[in-house]
Structure 1
Amino acid sequence: MDHVAHRHASHPDIVKRLKRADGHLRSVIEMIETGRPCLDIAQQLHAVEKAIAQAKKTLIHDHLNHCLDEAMLSGASGARNSIGEFKEIAKYL
């Protein structure tokens, strides 16, 4: 399957969020391995979840705001494809 480069202005922010989540996740692993208190671990896991959820939300909202608008402007076939794509991405909300 060929993928065309697809970038939005929000992508650098999403990458930063995911890298931050990656750092938190690595901390969680280290905390578990070194026997840190469960409360501390749970707090870090919560931070990981929030960072990933926010990255996903930003990605989906950006897609809905930009990609679907562009497809709608391209005519009936673009609109039809956009509706199908919207149904697919909506599963991840």
Structure 2
Amino acid sequence: MNGYDGNKDDLRKRLNRVEGQVRGIARMVDEDKYCIDILTQVSAATKALETVALSLLSDHLSHCVAEASATGGAVAAEKVREANEAIARLVRS
């Protein structure tokens, strides 16, 4: 079971909203809308994806990493390493 299993409906709703935002951005480009208006929508979609990423990260830490930490050893070290890499990717983006 994934850590986000109990949060799946909320994640799906957020992702559907982002999908709609991205389609709207593409439509704005097709319709030659003002650059700043498009950039505003890109920023909104980016923030929405960041919210999804932070939710997944939180679920991963509280479920997968916590469970592995209880087990200890190499499994725990691997889960912590994965979490650190995921955080680094989010910070860089």
Q: TM-score range by the shorter chain?
A: 0.7 to 0.9
TM-score w.r.t. the length of structure 2 is: 0.78
Shift, 1:88, TM fit? 2.6
Could you tell me which runs of 5 or more consecutive residues in structure 2 were left unpaired when the two chains were aligned. none
Partners of 1:21 and 1:48 within 8 A in 2: yes
Whole-Å Cα distance in 1 between the matches of residues 51 and 83 of structure 2?
19
Alignment of 1:76 with 2:73, yes or no, is yes
The 4+ residue runs of structure 1 with deviation greater than 3 A are none
Equivalent residue, structure 2, for 1:23? 20
Whole-Å Cα distance in 2 between the matches of residues 22 and 80 of structure 1?
35
Could you tell me which runs of 5 or more consecutive residues in structure 1 were left unpaired when the two chains were aligned. none
TM-score w.r.t. the length of structure 1 is: 0.78
Equivalent residue, structure 1, for 2:11? 14
Q: What RMSD over aligned residues (CA atoms) do the two structures have, in Å?
A: 1.9
Partner amino acid, structure 2, of 1:79: A
Aligned length: 89
Q: Which residue of 45, 59, 64 corresponds with 2:42?
A: 45
Partners of 1:11 and 1:59 within 8 A in 2: no
**Which one is further off, 73-82 or 31-40?**
73-82
Which has the higher relative contact order, 1 or 2, with Cα contacts under 8 A spaced 6 or more apart?
Answer: 2
